Structure 1
């Protein structure tokens, strides 16, 4: 990291505050985890999250799947981030904060270019035939964000970046599991078509589960398959928890534990993600954060004590 040699200007501080507000509003679980970071690192996580969220909101609000707004913003953002001088922090707070964060940690703008390419896919691609296809999308939409976050948390090297990318995928697949109904309302299905076929689930059956809030056994099995896959990604990413700085480890462990706990909420509701948006209760989030701080980086936290979900198979 190349730290700034002087305190940031008030305008830049305000830009990072705006990023914090975006993070707190849209990413409550991860935002709670960032509060466990050393104060000097928190703004950089907020900036990267805010950049990703702005692009995601443009996609979700694109009328009729019109790619022009995202394309225009993406081209402008990438040019601004590669420029020698930063954007004006009052006029473009998120881009200004991201510009400074990218330089503070010498981050590769090409990773954000990958991310924006995946965001563009959301305007034209609404189905994924195979797990490999979905993971290709997740490379740009989630893994690269993990790779960008890794240096902010003090991790470096190929193995650490691989674990960070895998954890990003685990977080996103957790969101896909929880948000099946919400995504379907937007016309998207982030569950591989091959899994739907193996489980005997049609798109009409998914739509019916959304309408009535009551999935049939085949749909529950389909969700269970995704839960198992997401838990496997968490286990693959787990070694990365020990690869960040000790001061950043509580943040990463809290995010790991709290996001994985969403999957256990799905298990506890018998794989029904259609009756309402599942989340970890506020008291449980606070207790988990407290346990992480008390453990001081000891990697032995698990909301459900290592419990594994019942196995269900579509084959």
Structure 2
């Protein structure tokens, strides 16, 4: 049958390509397309001469009745298409699995003369060189080791080169970014190859193969071929990402890096001596990522669909917010918390060039952002695990007003006391102000970073409107946060972020609200002993009414600002949707009639649903907030 080989593609290689394409399409970026085209081109150009030689020397062949008949350098077009489709499928799997990874945190500065990395590099090179040597011996000997030798001589030198360029990344990256995208396609193609060999779709000549099999029907040479080709694809992608990570992470070395580097730029980045890497920047990014993974999972998920230097800046910004929040929240008493607010103000004053004083009252002469006195202030007054985040904050790209407003929001938190659990929240307007300061400011700063990295043709008036909309969206997210944490805030900090008028409508005060939460808490002895009483159920109904009102307010801000997302630069549009929708899904969970999952006192969104919401947001604009 003249379509045997074509049927292999229709049955086994094209369906996975379609599935992977559908899964990857919402995540696809120009850089991803560039990688795929780059790898496919190299795969085809490097494989054609080798494959043509094998066919012309009768090491393997294709039955005339199994192929269409069209050839390129004696290679059936179906075989050339195999080079393309295998590279495409393995590349897509790698891209999908690597999307959450911030590659810049896996760079390592090597201390000259003292680094273990040189031994790791040499060990890998030596091992691959021995395999090349064995391949040459097989080819020279001829006979039944010929095909295996030709595979090793062709593939392993490329692996040797890629290892020499990207050994750090190949060792450091999570196994989901290296072993899995090699192992899964290899196992799948082993099965496909077994079926094809049994069917006679392609044939290895008896005199040039060892006769060894991995399992019945799968020649060892074919097993090695598919393993090595998938290693080549993944090694090539890792080397590409290694180069881009260097370009993204070190603006001091590459101040004018564009999103799509030329092959020459990629090679230069790979050849940049690791001794010149900025170790503090790498460690600072690692700390930022670890902080967000532990404390801001929704934002960390959303950050994975941003790319390049924008993603790095957003992660640093959000890590700074977490640092400031933790310093104040974890203070041993209100006096220490207020001192941290003042210390942070001094830091901002120094970064933005305003006159300021040290904690003991001495005048400091401000200089350039994050240099001189600013750095000294950070090193003297902040905990070691926070210092690099503060040093990395891109103050040259952020307006100072929102950062100072953020500190005012922290000051509002300090007005909550045991005798005044409502603190500064005396009206709905006060709650709006609080949300604007602690969350609207952060959203506005995110939009500023987007506009900085993708300025395009956006007018100043449009940019200001987008920032106002981002500010409102931040308020929506804060209302969601308050609704989620009503019980936690009342139990742990004795704070009630609900206007007194709302409480009064439910015949409650801030004090009675805290008492009711305490009684209905799962840890309460009365609640655990006999279950929820009628009185408890009545209180929970009031709690639900207050939460519903907070959510109504959240969706009001959300609905009036969400359309602005579609006016953002195209590179940030879908990622920003993910950032917003991942968090607003918490609000939707709280509105679900069937209830919601609570962990550590907070309503949570299951991982599978977060992923689904993120994927749906990437596909296009989401509908009305209250309905979804």
The TM tier, using the shorter chain, reads 0.7 to 0.9
1:263 to 587, 604, 616: 587
- Between 184-193 and 273-282, report the one with greater CA deviation: 273-282
In structure 2, what is the equivalent of residue 102 of structure 1?
A: 395
What CA distance in whole angstroms lies between the structure 2 residues aligned with 1:189 and 1:4?
A: 45
Does the C-alpha gap of structure 1 residues 129 and 35 become closer, same or farther in structure 2, counting only changes over 3 Å? same
Partner of 1:84: 368
Q: 1:195 to 1:308 in 2, by over 3 A?
A: farther
Deviations 1:101-156 (A, max 9, x none): 221x2x21222111112112211245211110111222221111111110222386
User: Which residue does 1:280 correspond to in 2?
Assistant: 605
Cα deviation for residue 19 of structure 1 reads 1.6
* Closer, same or farther: CA 4–243 of 1 in aligned 2, 3 Å: farther
- Offset, 1:5: 5.7
- Alignment TM-score, normalising by the size of structure 1: 0.84
Q: Label 1:85 to 1:165 Cα distance change in 2 as closer, same or farther (>3 A).
A: closer
Q: Shift of residue 308 of structure 1? A: 3.6
**Contact 2:566–2:573 (8 Å) recurs in 1:** yes
Are the structure 2 counterparts of residues 292 and 225 from structure 1 closer, same or farther at C-alpha, using a change threshold of 3 Å? closer
Distance of 1:15 and 1:80 partners within structure 2: 20
Q: CA, structure 1 residues 130+72, in 2 after alignment: closer, same or farther (shift >3 Å)? A: closer
Partner-residue secondary structure (3-state), 2:574: helix
Tell me how far apart the structure 2 counterparts of residues 271 and 210 of structure 1 sit (CA, whole Å): 20
Change (3 A) 1:218 1:288: closer
- Which residue is 1:194 aligned to? 501
Q: Which has the higher helix share?
A: 2
Counterpart of 1:242 in structure 2 is: 566
8 Å Cα contact 2:475-2:557 kept in structure 1: yes
Match of 1:53 in 2: 322
SS at match of 1:201: coil
SS of the equivalent of 1:191 reads coil
User: Is the 1:220–1:272 contact (alpha carbons within 8 Å) kept by the matching residues of 2?
Assistant: no
Distance 2:477 2:334 in 1: 25
Q: Secondary structure at the match of 1:255?
A: helix
1:64 — aligned with what? 333
8 Å CA contact retained: 2:435, 2:475: yes
Instruction: State the TM-score, normalizing by the size of structure 2.
Output: 0.44
Matched, 1:93 2:388: yes
Which residue is equivalent to 2:473?
167
Q: CA deviation at 1:206?
A: 4.4
Are 1:208 and 2:516 counterparts? yes
SS at match of 2:517: helix
Structure 1 residue runs of 5 or longer lacking an equivalent are 310-315
1:144 aligns to 2:446 (yes or no): no
Distance 2:518 2:587 in 1: 19
- Larger RCO (CA under 8 A, 6+ residues apart): 1
RMSD: 2.7
Indicate how the Cα distance of structure 1 residues 63 and 176 shifts in structure 2: closer, same or farther if over 3 A, else same.
Answer: same
Per the TM alignment, residue 16 of structure 1 is displaced from its structure 2 partner at its CA by: 2.5
Alignment pair present for 1:130 and 2:427? yes
For residues 323 and 342 of structure 2, what CA distance do their matches in structure 1 show?
13
Residues 65, 164 of structure 1: alpha-carbon distance in 2 compared, 3 angstrom cutoff:
same
Distance across 1 between alignment mates of 2:604 and 2:412? 27
Counterpart CA distance in 2 for 1:33 and 1:267 is: 22
Distance (Å, rounded) in 1 between the aligned partners of 2:406 and 2:311: 21
Gaps of 5+ in 2: 1-249, 255-276, 353-366, 456-461, 522-535
Match of 2:553 in 1: 229
Counterpart-to-counterpart distance in 1, 2:473 and 2:351: 25
Closer, same or farther: CA 279–239 of 1 in aligned 2, 3 Å:
same
Task: State which structure, 1 or 2, has the greater radius of gyration over its C-alpha atoms.
Answer: 2
Alignment equivalent of 2:407, drawn from 116, 135, 160: 116
Aligned to 1:312: none
Counterpart check, 1:289 vs 2:614: yes
